[in-house]
Amino acid sequence: MDSITIATPLMWAGFACFVVIATLVDLLLMRGQGPHKVGVAEALRWSALWVALALCFNGWLWWHLHESGNAQASQRAFEFFTGYLVEKSLAVDNIFVFLMIFNFFAVPIQYQKRALIYGVIGAIILRTIMILVGAWLLATFHWLLYVFGAFLLFTGIKMWWAADKKPDLDQNPIVKFFRTHMKMTAEFDGERFFTVKNGVKFATPMLLVVAMIGITDVIFAVDSIPAIFAITSDPFIVLTSNIFAILGLRAMYFLLAGMADKFHLLSYGLSIVLVFIGLKMLLIDFIKIPVLISLAVVATVIAATMVISVLRPKAQA
């Protein structure tokens, strides 16, 4: 796999500025709107906007490379789109876990937007670090490809067997740590992370919820980031496809949260995708699977799983 990036320092700087501006706009809009329930119409508009921005970036990337005389313009554009699709697909599993966290802590729906925004900011920072470190490791130690491939293969098989099992958050080590080491209230105090009672400072459940969302995303990133490295070793393509998928995570949550039961078989499809990508990574030095075939496999598996989920409702499955 080619470890050289197609990005110039200006491209890195431009993308960083875009992410900062997009995050600030999100925070300013949240402050201006105040706590409120995000409806399907609002979630659909934001989801469409983030997808459109990702596609525009992909189009610009192809155009820029083509105009620069880069013979790999189409290849890189397909790599970005495939990575974006893989990350978007795996993000659906994140959303179902976020829904479980919100339900467990009984987070009022008008406060969920704030928790997700801060979770997304944390995810952007941590994933950027993980991707840059991962790119350096793969460029330095080629054999790590096989380690990542074996890990994805194992994760896919494990996800298949655990697809219908619900984790017990009461026994989660993160929840136990917070409850043991911090003074916490059982009630929310608006969107605040801390509150004061009788002169004593307490953490609210909102702090624990945001921490759970951030840590959960890091755990999922351990699966999804190696999956994109199986598609391309270019850190700029890996980072941009990953971040664009994360930026739309909040809107996608409010769009899909009410449909979790309808896509009850999706975890099986995601497990197949991880197994396929793991095998692709293990065979990278022996069989070169074109990126278009990878894109077709991922899209077909995810679409088929969602269609079968709708045709076979959970009560009948």
**For residue 18, is it within any domain?**
yes
Model pTM?
A: 0.78
Q: What is the DSSP letter of 258?
A: G
Q: Which domain holds residue 123?
A: 9-138+166-257
Place of tokens 């894109």: 295
Does residue 232 or residue 258 have the better pLDDT? 232
Give the pLDDT of residue 166.
Answer: 65
Answer whether residue 19 is part of any domain: yes
291 lies in a domain?
A: no
User: Which segment of 31-40, 110-119, 236-245 scores lowest on mean pLDDT?
Assistant: 31-40
Domain presence at residue 153: no
- DSSP-derived letter for residue 6 is -
In total, how many domains does the chain have? 1
Q: Name the maximum alpha-carbon separation found in the chain.
A: 68
Is the residue at 15 inside a domain?
yes
Q: Report the pLDDT averaged over residues 4-30.
A: 88
DSSP state of 183: -
Quick: pLDDT tens for 144-177.
878 888 888 888 888 788 766 666 666 777 788 8
Asked if pLDDT for residue 3 goes beyond 50, the answer is no
Q: Is 297 among the domain residues? A: no
pLDDT at site 60: 96
Stretch 274-283: mean pLDDT, rounded? 86
Query: At 66, which amino acid appears?
Result: H
Whether residue 193 has pLDDT greater than 70: yes
The size of the chain, in residues, is 317
Residue 269 located in a structural domain: no
Q: Which residue has the higher pLDDT, 165 or 195?
A: 195
The answer, yes or no, to whether residue 243 has pLDDT greater than 70, is yes
Q: How much is the pLDDT for 258?
A: 64
Residue 3 forms part of a structural domain = no
Structure tokens at 285: 């030095």
- For residue 1, the model assigns a pLDDT of 42
